[in-house]
Amino acid sequence: MILIVSKYLIPKGYRGLTVFPFVFLKSANSKSDLVLINHEKIHLRQQLELLILPFFLWYGLEFLLRLLKYKDLQMAYRMISFEQEAYGNEKDLHYIEQRSFWDFLKYL
């Protein structure tokens, strides 16, 4: 994991963005936010499991399907299986160690 601080690469309203092997953070203060870093580590694992490019294709397709269903950008984002897994487990700092392969499928 390579941490990069850049307030210009992160969309408004978000604090981090992960594109394997990089984790982009909006502010230097976020480097010490263990919950945020854990959230992004979960995304790194998801991306690796799907061999990176298929992760982004799946993410985008699932977002579009959720947007059609909920007709709300924020709700569509939060209902993506990858985000549900990350948000649901971000406070468990040992989650990555016990996480099963393709655990995000539980959230579909």
Domain annotation covers residue 16: no
Domain annotation covers residue 27: no
Domain annotation covers residue 24: no
Whole-number Å distance between alpha carbons of 45 and 64: 22
pLDDT of residue 20: 97
Residue range(s) defining the domain that contains residue 52: 32-107
pLDDT of residue 56: 98
pLDDT in tens, 37-46: 999 999 999 9
pLDDT of residue 80: 98
pLDDT in tens, 28-73: 999 999 999 999 999 999 999 999 999 999 999 999 999 999 999 9
pLDDT of residue 89: 98
Cβ burial 59-85 (10 Å sphere, 16+ → b, else e): beebbeebbeeeeeeeebbebbbbbeb
pLDDT of residue 41: 98
> Is 0.85 surpassed by the pTM of this model?
yes
| Confidence band for 74, pLDDT divided at 50, 70 and 90 | very high
Domain annotation covers residue 86: yes
Q: Is-contact 50 58, C-beta < 8 A?
A: yes
Domain annotation covers residue 13: no
**Total number of domains in the chain:** 1
